[in-house]
Amino acid sequence: MSNFAQAANFEGQVPRIDPDNATMLLIDHQSGLFQTVKDMPMTELRANAITLAKIARLAKIPVITTASVPQGPNGPLIPEIHEAAPHAQYVARKGEINAWDNPEFVAAVKATGRKQLIIAGTITSVCMAFPSISAVAAGYQVFAVIDASGTYSKMAQEITLARVVQAGVVPMDTAAVCSEVQRTWNRPDAAEWAEAYSAVFPHYQLLIESYTKAQAVISQHEQLDSQRS
């Protein structure tokens, strides 16, 4: 058992994500690999990965991306990730399947000086699991975002989830990561966070629209009352 897993068990709890101590690793979110995903709709996977990039920008969390032989059938990284997080650093690999086996990738992670990693990768059982397990062994606290990854089957997802948890990785979903990083709605950029959530929960956009409309009506009534008085 890793030191992190032992610490989590000893304390009876797992750590929260600290936006000031976290780095986000978005690994192999490539157009070709997305076509092999069967455990969740590809459109949801894509939206979740993009949402992670958006909230990383909002929270000023460093983002490191990489791709597995993008010049081959795995295809290029989906462009929306770097569009949503312009500050993201791309690290080219030299064929390594496990991103953690690439010295430049590990050096980029170490250069952030942060000890928590939020990791998502396609395919879940390889591109997310391998570097997550390696990072825990290297002393990092790792949060794996399962619904921003994606793999060949539901069975593969469940087996991988069991494996990474045994290694000391903390599994999370995209919405939970967003909420834990955001911490509070009492912030000047709350509207931008709400917009990011609407990609994870498409129906949340309806909630935002109804709230905005209600606020406009209330404001209009207050103005009329003020004029009458």
Catalytic residues: 127
Verify cis geometry, omega within 30 degrees of 0, for the bond prior to 27: no
Angle between helical axes of 190-200 and 174-182 (0-180°, round to 10): 170
Q: How many whole angstroms separate alpha carbon 161 and alpha carbon 129? A: 8
**Three-class SS state of 63:** strand
Contact by Cβ (8 Å): 72, 20: no
Q: How many whole angstroms separate alpha carbon 206 and alpha carbon 135? A: 39
- β-bridge pairing 63-67 and 116-121: unpaired
Q: How many whole angstroms separate alpha carbon 145 and alpha carbon 52? A: 9
What count of residues does the chain have?
229
Q: Which two tokens stand for residue 157?
A: 């997802």
Distances (CA, A) of 146 to 57, 91, 173, 220: 20, 22, 6, 44
